Amino acid sequence: MKVALLQTDARDDKAANLRQAEALIVRAAAEEKPDLVVLPEVFCYVGESAEGKQAAAEVLPDGEAYAMLRGCAARHGMFVHGGSLYESAGGKLYNTTVVFDRQGREIARYRKIHRFDVTTPDGRSFRESAYIEGGREIVSYQADAWRIGCTICYDLRFPELFQALLRQGAEVFVVPAVFTLTTGKDHWEVLLRARAIETQTYVLGCGRIGAFGNGKASYGHSMVVDPWGHVVARMSDQVGYVTARLDRAYLENVRAGIPLARHKVL
């Protein structure tokens, strides 16, 4: 399977963000013909205000972002893992991944479980729970011969979620993110590689790049990590995409060499 990770610079203009994302999907499809395209977390809207997030939210399966992702999947005959978008449902706001198959059919929907409520070392405060409802369901899906597990950003710090997805048969994890520059420079690669090593899977970390509000910035550095923990593809500090091929024989060799699944006692 060939994968393409799109690295966008979403701001507080949803229409412009969708144009940027669609243009990158079209470019990647034409130049690389990937089987799976992945977008970053909240690729439709990155802004400070709760009102802006609510205005950008979609009632699925309606909405411009949903239609764009579905259309791109069908037109280009590829799986589209739609990073995440703001979903409005039952009077609540969710941070939600939607995935489409090669025919443009929705095959997975995952609501972010772990919410980012921290004060970073530089003193900046983030309170995702102030406006986002946490999800409850653990979600994976089938993309051709691969089982893919859904996570979003802060979920990366909770290995128990990855272990639960591993029990569902996951061989690939997708991690769309808006990692902060402060945490990203020290933790992003380390965590992606750790999750890959301990689960013996491919991990696709797809990040947003750029500044947003009050001097905050996203780390970017989208990358593909193989089941041995090697970074096999990495995006530079710009908008664009990076591609890699997932090798099933290599994954099986890694699992055979160190048979973690057989050695588990808990």
Q: Which residues are marked as active site?
A: 41, 112, 153
The helix/strand/coil state of 210 is: strand
Please give the structure tokens belonging to residue 12. Answer: 């507080």
Q: How far apart are CA 67 and CA 62, in angstroms?
A: 7
Q: How far apart are CA 119 and CA 17, in angstroms?
A: 27
Phi and psi (nearest 5°) for 24?
-70, -40
Long-range contacts, 160-167 (Cβ 8 Å, 24+):
161/113, 161/114, 162/195, 162/198, 162/199, 163/199, 164/138, 165/138, 165/140, 166/199, 166/201
End-to-end CA distance of the chain: 32
Q: How far apart are CA 213 and CA 234, in angstroms?
A: 26
CA 161 to chain centre: 15
- Tell me which DSSP letter residue 59 carries: -
Q: How far apart are CA 174 and CA 162, in angstroms?
A: 10
